[in-house]
Structure 1
Amino acid sequence: MFFKPRFSTKNYARRGFRLRGNSLITLFVFFLIGLFLHYGGRTKPVVAFWNDFRQIIGLGRSRSDREGSNPYKAPEPKSDEATDDRRGGQSNESEASDNNSSSPSEASSGNQRFDFEKQVDFLLPVSKANGELIRHEGYTLSYRNQYKDAEWVAYPLLAYETTGDADRKNEQFKPDPAVEDGTALPFDYTRSGYDRGHLAPAADFKFSQRMMRETFFMSNITPQVPEFNRGIWGDLENQIRSWARRDKGVYVVTGPVLKPGLSTIGKSTEVSVPEKFYKVILYCNKPDIRMVGFLMTNEGSNKSLKEFVVPVDLIEQLTGLDFFPKIPDDLEQKLESKSREEVVDEWFDN
């Protein structure tokens, strides 16, 4: 004897709540939108969730995530609120490679120094503009508030400073607390289409985590086209480090060509986007001395670095700067007016 229900289970199943494929997709889309809104419009946590979800269902991580992180880009600030503090702050994490607490001596290269090298602030340019002089442990810069860019960054680069275990992986861009009127903020660059380009490269300070951390102050950062920053500009930075190792040390001055009317980016401040960048490198080992200047357009290029060598006089005309003004005038004029061919032979063929 079988019990026969008074109602039809078949009809009940038909009328019950049942999600179809399209409904599931719609709910998932709304869930992602909710995540995006929950994180204040920041896509990074949403992308992280999506990659985890792909792994769970067996699709693997997205292609961009598999290719690894961009070595020219430090992590985004953990929150906009934390990085909006213009007074900044120092990390308390342990210092890799910082066994020496004192800054390196410019004489520790072993090269014989000229008398003019021994003068205070020998390597600092003289500017026609009234930039704010900012001194950090690893480098000195002149900050132009109207552009929210440094007009120059200067530092000696010794051979041992380019090696070590300091790592940029966990460093974050941050406002420079030393700048009186404040710098740009890290998120001024977010989704702008430009990289946060270093003037003093992080890799020039691999011997000290503390000094590498200084290079992530926004006073040392400027908008650079990604193909430029990660391409020809990075090639030039590598070349200069190889010269520093070969010659036991060089002086480096680098910066953008600033002028009125540049385009700008920024959400909290207007940051000028330079059209050109320069580097001026000086080698001294008495009685030998040589100087080279590079001028590059803020765009990708496949040209040889030699093609960007220009007389330092030209860079001075464009920037209004006087590089290494404490070199005797006759010697300075000789160094700065050499032809490209002479300079290329001196630097690239040695």
Structure 2
Amino acid sequence: MKRTLYRLLSCGLLGILAVSCSKDETVAPASAPTAVSQSFDATRDSHLTMGNPSGAITDATNSPNNYLMSKSQFALSYSRDKGKPNWVSWHLSSAWVGSTPRQDNFSADATLPSGWFRATTSSYTGSGFDRGHNCPSADRTGSVADNSATFLMTNMMPQSANNNQKAWANLENYCRTLINQGNELYIICGSYGTGGTGVNGYATTIAGGKITVPARCWKVIVVLPEGSSDASRVTTSTRVIAINTPNDQSVGTTWGTYRTSVDAIEAATGYNILSAVSSTVQSTIESRVDSGPTS
């Protein structure tokens, strides 16, 4: 009897130890918390985040020469009497760039109000001026629809060949270099004045007087690291690039030569280009001439 009792006690003790060991093996040791890094994916944001420079409105009757047109790919103020945009504004990030090839399908903009002159590609034929993109084709390669939108004639201005193909093109390429470095850009550009010089000489209009040839072409670029709440992130240290070029054949390849201040462009055009930015910040960044890298 004692021997039987001893065996039972021994088995019970071994069972308890076995269960205890089993529980110890299934309990995972506590791990230290891992740090979470904050990052932002490129997005497609509003083209008027930095403001509506001329206060353009969608009223064809009362505002035919400051007519707001909002497209998925860009926004613009159009002038019926000049047959070209006053300005075009767009957001640029890597989210807008893909592998879609250049479509080269220049076409009239069917969304212009009924009865307005609608420029076609032939409106520029023999004029001596390029069909100068405001929003570049290469900034919109995410889809065929995006790229085709840049070939609407409402996105074009009569631009001298050297201006379009040299300084302007080099600045466009530099903008895409900036987004490849993790930035997003807000770009506003346009033209003003009357009379430019193309490969055929000086002219004030083309297309039988229906399209005004501008005297100057300008562009403003706000450079921000990828993020959100973009207008509120513009500070006095934000890089802002502004250029103002003559619309003639004297323009060279170095866009940095034509840097100016936003204030100077606003004085020439009457626009408030970064109206959505804090007025305190505007006073600093708009008076400054960029001196950063050009490539």
In 1, distance between residues paired with 2:270 and 2:55? 6
Q: Is the 8 A contact 1:176 1:183 kept in 2?
A: yes
The equivalent residue for 1:204 is: 139
Match of 1:241 among 176, 187, 199: 176
In 2, distance between residues paired with 1:305 and 1:197? 16
State the 1:122 CA deviation: 2.3
Deviations 1:216-252 (CA, angstroms, capped at 9, x unpaired):
1110011112222122211111111112222421111
Where in structure 1 are there 5+ consecutive unaligned residues? Answer: 1-106, 111-116
State the 1:158 CA deviation: 0.1
Paired letter, 1:167: P
CA gap 1:348/1:222 in 2 versus in 1, 3 angstroms: closer
State the 1:348 CA deviation: 4.3
Is 1:280 aligned to 2:234, yes or no? no
Q: Is the 8 A contact 2:216 2:245 kept in 1?
A: yes
Is 1:167 aligned to 2:101, yes or no? yes
The equivalent residue for 1:344 is: 291
Is 1:325 aligned to 2:275, yes or no? yes
Give aligned-pair identity as a percent: 25
State the 1:318 CA deviation: 1.0
State the 1:259 CA deviation: 5.3
- Please tell me whether Structure 1 or Structure 2 has the larger radius of gyration of its CA atoms: 2
In 2, distance between residues paired with 1:328 and 1:191? 46
CA gap 1:227/1:302 in 2 versus in 1, 3 angstroms: closer
Length-normalised TM-score, structure 2: 0.70
Q: Which moves more between the two structures, 176-185 or 307-316?
A: 176-185
The equivalent residue for 1:295 is: 244
In 2, distance between residues paired with 1:258 and 1:209? 34
Deviations 1:311-349 (CA, angstroms, capped at 9, x unpaired):
1100111111111201111101100001x3xx213x549
Where in structure 2 are there 5+ consecutive unaligned residues? Answer: 1-39, 57-62, 197-202, 226-232
The equivalent residue for 1:194 is: 129
Deviations 1:229-283 (CA, angstroms, capped at 9, x unpaired):
122211111111112222421111111124599710004x611111110110012
Deviations 1:169-201 (CA, angstroms, capped at 9, x unpaired):
x43211111111243222111111111111101
Q: Larger helix proportion, structure 1 or 2?
A: 1
In 2, distance between residues paired with 1:348 and 1:125? 27
Length-normalised TM-score, structure 1: 0.60
Q: Which moves more between the two structures, 126-135 or 270-279?
A: 126-135
Paired letter, 2:101: D
The equivalent residue for 1:305 is: 255
Deviations 1:37-87 (CA, angstroms, capped at 9, x unpaired):
xxxxxxxxxxxxxxxxxxxxxxxxxxxxxxxxxxxxxxxxxxxxxxxxxxx
Q: Is the 8 A contact 1:123 1:154 kept in 2?
A: no
The equivalent residue for 2:13 is: none
In 1, distance between residues paired with 2:74 and 2:172? 16
In 2, distance between residues paired with 1:217 and 1:303? 26
Q: Is the 8 A contact 2:124 2:206 kept in 1?
A: yes
State the 1:303 CA deviation: 5.3
Superposed, 1:105-120 pairs within 5 Å as: 108-109=41-42
CA gap 1:203/1:248 in 2 versus in 1, 3 angstroms: same
Aligned residues: 229
Q: Is the 8 A contact 2:190 2:218 kept in 1?
A: yes
The equivalent residue for 1:124 is: 51
Which secondary structure does the structure 1 equivalent of 2:86 belong to?
A: strand
Q: Is the 8 A contact 1:151 1:258 kept in 2?
A: no
Is 1:179 aligned to 2:112, yes or no? yes
Paired letter, 1:307: T
Deviations 1:97-121 (CA, angstroms, capped at 9, x unpaired):
xxxxxxxxxx7438xxxxxx99x94
State the 1:126 CA deviation: 2.7
Which secondary structure does the structure 1 equivalent of 2:264 belong to?
A: helix
Paired letter, 2:53: V
State the 1:160 CA deviation: 4.1
Superposed, 1:16-35 pairs within 5 Å as: none
State the 1:128 CA deviation: 6.6
Once superposed, what is the RMSD of the aligned Cα atoms? 2.6
The equivalent residue for 2:5 is: none
Which secondary structure does the structure 2 equivalent of 1:127 belong to?
A: coil
